[in-house]
Amino acid sequence: MTMPDLVAERDFSPQVKRWLERQRNRDFHALMLSAGSDADRRNAALQIECRRKVRRKLPEAAANDAFLFPTLLSVEQCTSEALAAYHASLVAPGSSVLDMTSGLGIDVLAIARRATHVTALERTPEVSYSLQYNASVMGLDNIDAVCADSVEWIKRTDRKFDLIFIDPARRDGDGGRIYNLADCEPDVVDLMQRMLEVAPEVIVKASPMFDIARAVKELSPYVVAVRTIGTESECKELLITCRRDSQEPVCREAVTIGKEGVSLFGWNPDADSGITLRICNSVVDNQILYEPWPAVMKSGAFRQLCLQYDVAQLDLDTHLFLSDEFNRDFPGTAYRIAGVYEFNKSSIKELRSKYGHINVAVRNFVMTATDLERRLKIKSGGTCKLFGVRAAGEMRLIVGEPLALVLFFKHAGHGALILTLAYALALVVFFLTTTYAYHHFGKSAVVDKHFQRNDCEAGLFAAFGQLGYLLFVEEKATVAAGLVVIICAVEVLGYIHVFNPHLSVSNITESIHKARFSKTY
């Protein structure tokens, strides 16, 4: 498929749009079969499927109906926009950058917003062409997409850059995983000296499965920084920075991209040798248990965690941490210990009777998490987490409760607690009052007749009254549950009304008043 064969979603013909409308509930493979040899329909199916796959990974690109997705493979292999934004933050403003393995170009588009110029090498023609097109769609005129083999291109070029970014393929020709940099394509170990002749700095993106010490050894003596990058649930990649003729010590950093921003945890690994790993002597209820984020775990900086955050590790190879007081700066998820149990039949029986749902994880334990779940016979889910661990030399089952509410009140203080309790009390009073009012006036009455309101608040008032009446007077819990859905819908419409005053909800509210479910009962 070449560039002329590809069109963006906005350019679909009316006939193709009508075909998509008829086929929209079918999966991608069925769509492609239905499209047959019709190039326009096949491309339309591709654009729609790619948007389905990347709407969370690439929200900006997916929302732009002019953005062009050339192949499914390029979409599956591309960097997320959040990670690309972090990569771009490592580029000095005004730099000239060479991306040797651009692919779909999400990194290129992010870097181009900081750099003076970006040259993007990609050997697949339609992917390279689409990158140049997407650059113009995004309003970027400082990107030069070159369709070429990056190894041959860099060997021949006489151009110079400030930075090279390279993300070598992490699978072999048979699709198997690769665990050494020298086995990747391109071979960054073999190319490093030439890349550092073209640019003084090279950033290598590598698989999180790679052994960090081995990767540093392969690229020695050029390595100056190693970063483990991830989210709060997964380690995504390693970033290895190499510089020409550098004598700097290798700095290490764990980067977690979360909902509240980017968390950085950095240290000098040369200092680790002088730090003693603190091991806890016991685990008791109400202590704080910390589970480091995946990028921190991958970094292996366990001594530094103990030193910087005043915590102790559960056991020599059990990388969970403990403290008596909550440390909000710890780079991980915190739990308050709700129970510590010996690993035996009576404890398992007690846990089974106490928890209907619980999430299970293991650290340095005698069995896998899956085997422990089978042994417990407790459904997965809920808010609590059970850790099977070796702690203080013994096998233990530790139940942790999330600290979300604790965090809220710790940040907001006693005022937040008072306001929350007051709000909860007001809801209870409101609920009981509306229930009484509805029962007193009769289920066929229209609340507006008594309260002279015709807006969203009156609708909620009536709905709460109906809900209480159904639950406590007529004891019809099933229909009461249905009314909860209506209450939620009115709440949503109320928010829409706040942000768009021209959209009236009075008609919808009035219909709720009139419906009243009175004919049903």
pLDDT by residue (tens digit) across 368-380? 999 999 999 999 9
Mean pLDDT of the 137-152 span: 95
Alpha-carbon span 453 to 465, nearest angstrom: 15
pLDDT at 205: 96
pLDDT at 299: 92
| Separation in Å, CA 393 to CA 73, 275, 390, 434 | 48, 21, 6, 58
pLDDT at 292: 96
Q: What is the mean pLDDT of the chain?
A: 80
Contact call for residues 411 and 476 (beta carbons, < 8 A): no
Alpha-carbon span 35 to 48, nearest angstrom: 13
pLDDT at residue 322 tops 60 = yes
pLDDT at residue 391 tops 90 = yes
pLDDT at 181: 87
pLDDT at 402: 86
| Separation in Å, CA 181 to CA 216, 228, 338, 485 | 10, 16, 44, 54
Q: Locate the DSSP E strands across 195-269.
A: 201-206, 223-230, 235-243, 251-258, 261-267
Mean pLDDT of the 48-56 span: 86
Q: Band of the pLDDT at 42, cuts 50, 70, 90?
A: confident
Mean pLDDT of the 378-384 span: 90
Distance of CA 383 to the CA centre of its chain: 18
Q: How confident is the model over 186-226, as pLDDT tens digits?
A: 999 999 999 999 999 999 999 999 999 999 999 989 999 99
Three-class SS of residue 363? strand
Q: Which of 46-50, 337-341, 381-385 has the highest mean pLDDT?
A: 337-341
Higher-confidence residue of 143 and 485: namely 143
Higher-confidence residue of 118 and 518: namely 118
DSSP-derived secondary structure letter, 285 = T
Higher-confidence residue of 22 and 50: namely 50
Contact call for residues 278 and 302 (beta carbons, < 8 A): no
Higher-confidence residue of 401 and 421: namely 401
Q: How confident is the model over 437-452, as pLDDT tens digits?
A: 555 544 444 344 333 3
pLDDT at residue 477 tops 70 = no
Q: Can you state the angle between helices 188-198 and 212-219, rounded to 10 degrees?
A: 50
| Separation in Å, CA 172 to CA 175, 177, 185, 219 | 5, 7, 8, 20
What is the percent of the chain with per-residue pLDDT over 90, rounded to a whole number? 54
Mean pLDDT of the 490-510 span: 42
Beta strand 201-206 with 235-243 is antiparallel
Alpha-carbon span 165 to 446, nearest angstrom: 68
Least confident of 76-85, 111-120, 259-268: 259-268
Q: Band of the pLDDT at 413, cuts 50, 70, 90?
A: low
pLDDT at residue 253 tops 50 = yes
First-last CA distance in the chain: 63
What is the percent of the chain with per-residue pLDDT over 70, rounded to a whole number? 71
pLDDT at 458: 47
Mean pLDDT of the 390-394 span: 91
Least confident of 5-14, 395-404, 489-498: 489-498
Structure-token pair, residue 517: 């479910």
Give the chain's radius of gyration (CA, Å): 30
pLDDT at 174: 62
Q: How confident is the model over 258-303, as pLDDT tens digits?
A: 887 899 999 887 777 778 889 998 999 999 999 999 999 999 999 9
Q: Band of the pLDDT at 436, cuts 50, 70, 90?
A: low
pLDDT at 36: 77
Contact call for residues 107 and 132 (beta carbons, < 8 A): no
pLDDT at residue 167 tops 50 = yes
Q: Can you state the angle between helices 456-468 and 477-499, rounded to 10 degrees?
A: 170
pLDDT at residue 235 tops 70 = yes
Least confident of 144-153, 254-263, 472-481: 472-481
pLDDT at 400: 94
Alpha-carbon span 468 to 463, nearest angstrom: 9
pLDDT at 405: 52
